[in-house]
Amino acid sequence: MRRIISLLSLLCCILCAGAQDNGGGSSEKKSYIHMLHTNVTRFDEKINPDAWILVGDVQFRRDSMYMYCDSAHYFQKKNAFQAFGNVRMEQGDTLFLFGDYLDFDGDTNLARVRNNVQLIDKNSVLETDSLDFDRNTNVGYFFDYGTLSDEESTLSSYYGEYNVDSKDALFLDDVSVENPQFRMLGDTLRYNTVSKVAAVVGPTNMYSGSSEVYSERGRYNMGTRQAVLLDRSVLYNGNKDVTADSIFYDTAAGYSEMFGNIIYKDPVDRNMLTGEYAYLNEIVDSAYVTQRALVVDFSQKDSLFMHADTIWAVSYNLNTDSLFRQVRAYNKVRAWGQSMQAVCDSLVFDSRDTCVTMYKDPILWNNNVQLLGEEIKVYLDSTSIDWVHVINQTLYAEPMDSANYNQIRGQEMKFYFSENKLSEMQVIGSVEIVFFPLDEDSTYVGMNTTTAGRATAFVKEGQVDKVVVPKESKGVFYPMSQRPPEACYLDNFAWFDYVRPVSKDDVFVWRGKDANMRLKMIKRESVPLPTLDRFRKEE
């Protein structure tokens, strides 16, 4: 008898459902829940006076969605049901939703799934303990922590949304992305499971190898491993970091390009690069900056600001004990510091000997002293300038007043410094000197002109105090009133105050030498060394 009653009850449910489909005179078609199968059907007012109790292999359908469970409470009048145990929802052969409990409303088409929830959409799996799935929009919402996984990445957050149609996902609050190549931590993230593009819309940190990125707006393609970062994002690599208005970063290839108001910092070597465009290669640990490029060196007591059309920072012999770095500046180099200024066409700094080499019409100023030659090498120690080597067509000039200058020229000059102040110089080869000695009250004694093979000069308080030359040197002393005009200036004398940088901002304003004042490089033929074969032929 009990089996007959159950069968009659089941038949009643099916007939009622059919009546719902065909009945009513409403102009709007209403979708109803169809109970397709159950092993046992019963009604118990004590358990639930408004529901049919279905037990065993329960099956429902609403439109194209099929739903399965171990047992259910079917609210026929409300067009709803509650499902318990091994809950499964299927739509086609691509969308599957699993859980322990389901509350489904046929009128609103909203499914509330709880405990051990899995939403499987092709290759993407969303897991959580609480999911509300709106079948009208095909969007699932989780609000008690959830994860979305595909072939390579796992994304998680406290709150999230997933659109089955567009494949777009939104993650909010305590967002994490785990991938074999990188890791992301943030506040807000949008992700598309087809394009593999993650859109950063809040404070986010991304880690890849030894690199780290901080951004509040941008996007990252997890397939190509390329990122476009905006709004003053920061790229960290080892101890270095670079900030820019926008950054293109290829983590797979290990390079990045920066655009707009760039600041590149290297606290180890204690320098900084700025500009409007920069390129950074992590593989070879090199970078270059252009468009208002500026390097600031704060490794010395006197910070130095240097501008050029393009500035490179290059590393050699990576991951070895012989690692060294070079900074190269090309075209229209201008540098300014409190005690030192310089101009030249190009420049190279080498960390091996801490030497700065200036090429093509270089000029160096130290306080009120001007040095120039074909090539100038500046050797640095840990805190200041150690010594300077000026090579070929050299000139030392020091103003005594607006008309008189101490001047020294030679083939080669070596200058030695104490606390960034010139203290001594050695001049070698074809030395010519114009020197104005002073008496104790700083009045002119006269003018000395000297020619010698070499000379040593000592500088005190920014002025030549004493000059020492060999005995065989030739010289003439003139009283100030009797000095001939042609003897007052050396042949190569020039005072380039109009070229000299006057501030850190002035380094961006190029002022070159007048055309007739530029040095012409003297071509020097090398003499071949004799060999034993050569001597044998002469014998």
**Predicted confidence band of residue 531 (pLDDT cuts 50, 70, 90):** very low
Identify which of 501, 461, 460, 497 has the alpha carbon closest to the alpha carbon of residue 337: 501
Mean pLDDT throughout 322-346? 91
Whether 189 contacts 198, CB under 8 Å: yes
Amino acid type, 449: T
User: What beta strand segments (E) does 48-123 contain?
Assistant: 52-62, 65-75, 80-91, 95-105, 110-121
pLDDT > 90? residue 383: no
Residue for token pair 């500009």:
275
Q: What is the pLDDT of residues 507-525, one digit of tens each?
A: 999 988 776 666 555 554 4
**Predicted confidence band of residue 539 (pLDDT cuts 50, 70, 90):** very low
pLDDT > 50? residue 143: yes
Q: What is the pLDDT of residues 478-509, one digit of tens each?
A: 999 999 999 999 998 999 999 999 999 999 99
CA distance 314 to 505: 26
User: What is the pLDDT, as a whole number, of residue 519?
Assistant: 59
**Predicted confidence band of residue 243 (pLDDT cuts 50, 70, 90):** very high
User: What is the pLDDT, as a whole number, of residue 124?
Assistant: 92
Using DSSP, state whether 282 is helix, strand or coil: coil
Bridge pairing between strands 271-281 and 286-297: antiparallel
User: What is the pLDDT, as a whole number, of residue 385?
Assistant: 84
Mean pLDDT throughout 336-344? 91
Whether 206 contacts 213, CB under 8 Å: yes
Global pTM value: 0.77
**Predicted confidence band of residue 114 (pLDDT cuts 50, 70, 90):** very high
CA distance 42 to 58: 13
Q: Which residues pair with 213 in a beta bridge?
A: 206, 235
User: What is the pLDDT, as a whole number, of residue 319?
Assistant: 82
DSSP conformation class of 489: S
User: What is the pLDDT, as a whole number, of residue 442?
Assistant: 86
The b-or-e profile of 513-533 (16+ CB within 10 A means b, else e) is: beeeeebeeeeeeeeeeeeee
**Predicted confidence band of residue 239 (pLDDT cuts 50, 70, 90):** confident
- Of 130 and 383, the structure prediction assigns the larger pLDDT to 130
**Predicted confidence band of residue 25 (pLDDT cuts 50, 70, 90):** very low
User: What is the pLDDT, as a whole number, of residue 522?
Assistant: 53
Amino acid type, 513: K
* Joined tokens for residue 156: 């998680």
**Predicted confidence band of residue 29 (pLDDT cuts 50, 70, 90):** low
Using DSSP, state whether 350 is helix, strand or coil: strand
The b-or-e profile of 375-401 (16+ CB within 10 A means b, else e) is: bbbbbbeeebbbbbbbbbbbbbbbebe
Q: Residue 298, class by beta-carbon neighbours within 10 Å (0-12 exposed, 13-18 middle, 19+ buried)?
A: middle
Residue for token pair 């394009």:
195
Q: What is the pLDDT of residues 456-476, one digit of tens each?
A: 999 887 788 889 999 999 999
User: What is the pLDDT, as a whole number, of residue 523?
Assistant: 54
pLDDT > 50? residue 15: no
Mean pLDDT, the chain, rounded, equals 87
Question: If DSSP states are collapsed to H, E and C, what string results for 375-431?
Answer: EEEEEECCCCEEEEEEEEEEEEEEECCCCCEEEEEEEEEEEEEECCEEEEEEEEEEE
CA distance 407 to 365: 14
Reading phi first (left if > 0) and then psi (alpha if -120 to 50, else beta), residue 209 is in left
Q: What is the pLDDT of residues 84-109, one digit of tens each?
A: 999 999 988 888 999 999 999 999 99
**Predicted confidence band of residue 43 (pLDDT cuts 50, 70, 90):** confident
* Joined tokens for residue 313: 């920072």
CA distance 108 to 263: 54
Q: What is the pLDDT of residues 269-292, one digit of tens each?
A: 788 889 999 998 988 888 889 999
CA distance 254 to 211: 9
CA distance 535 to 532: 5
